[in-house]
Amino acid sequence: MKKILVLLADGFEDIEVVTPTDLLRRAKIKVDLVSIDKRLVTTSSGTEIMSDMTIDTIDENQYDMLFLPGGSGVKNLEKSSEVKKLITYFDQTKKFIAAICAAPSILGKMGLLKNRTFTCYPGYEKQFNQGNYTKSPLEISDYFITARGIGYVNKFALQLIEILTDKRTKNKVAKQTLILESGEFDD
């Protein structure tokens, strides 16, 4: 079974975590919600969510993908040396790194988007000077998957499903949840 590690920090964007987690789990992908400090994490809207574990208890070798959600929690993720160490591990081992909204800025500031195409929430691309920024909803460059923001969260989650499983599983989840675009998810 494929496993994805979702990093949580106070201020993360609710929809950018809850929706992908739901869709990924429907695809039978193991999702671990991992907080950078305490188990109970507060979202950008003030909702409290209990993480599955904290970052100091994980074995990064068990995961196929690292996922960084956006929101004001990006500032908290960016301050964590453990988060940077984890991102570096996933980069060096060429495992998938997914980031949405403001979160690609962490990767950019670490120098990981150099010579890569990426997207992010408008304005965050100005925080670093590298890579090829597009205004596309979603970009895949090597093992980096970036998405623009909340409006594209379903497309983003379905792409993660396809990367970790296959197109058939993605289509099944899309049909099951009525995330349909004219013929796009037909078998």
Q: Which residues are catalytic?
A: 101
**Position 72, amino acid:** S
**Position 61, amino acid:** N
Using DSSP bridges, classify how beta strands 3-8 and 65-68 pair: parallel, antiparallel or unpaired: parallel
Those residues whose C-beta lies under 8 Å from the C-beta of residue 111, and which sit 6 or more positions away, are 130
Question: What does the alpha-carbon distance between residue 32 and residue 94 come to, in Å, rounded to a whole number?
Answer: 20
**Position 37, amino acid:** D
Tell which residue, 162, 160, 168, 165, has the closest CA to residue 186: 168
Distances (CA, A) of 147 to 59, 71, 118, 126, 161: 26, 13, 8, 16, 14
Structure tokens at 90: 């996933």
Neighbours of 108 (CB within 10 A): 25
Tell me the chain's radius of gyration from C-alpha atoms. Answer: 15
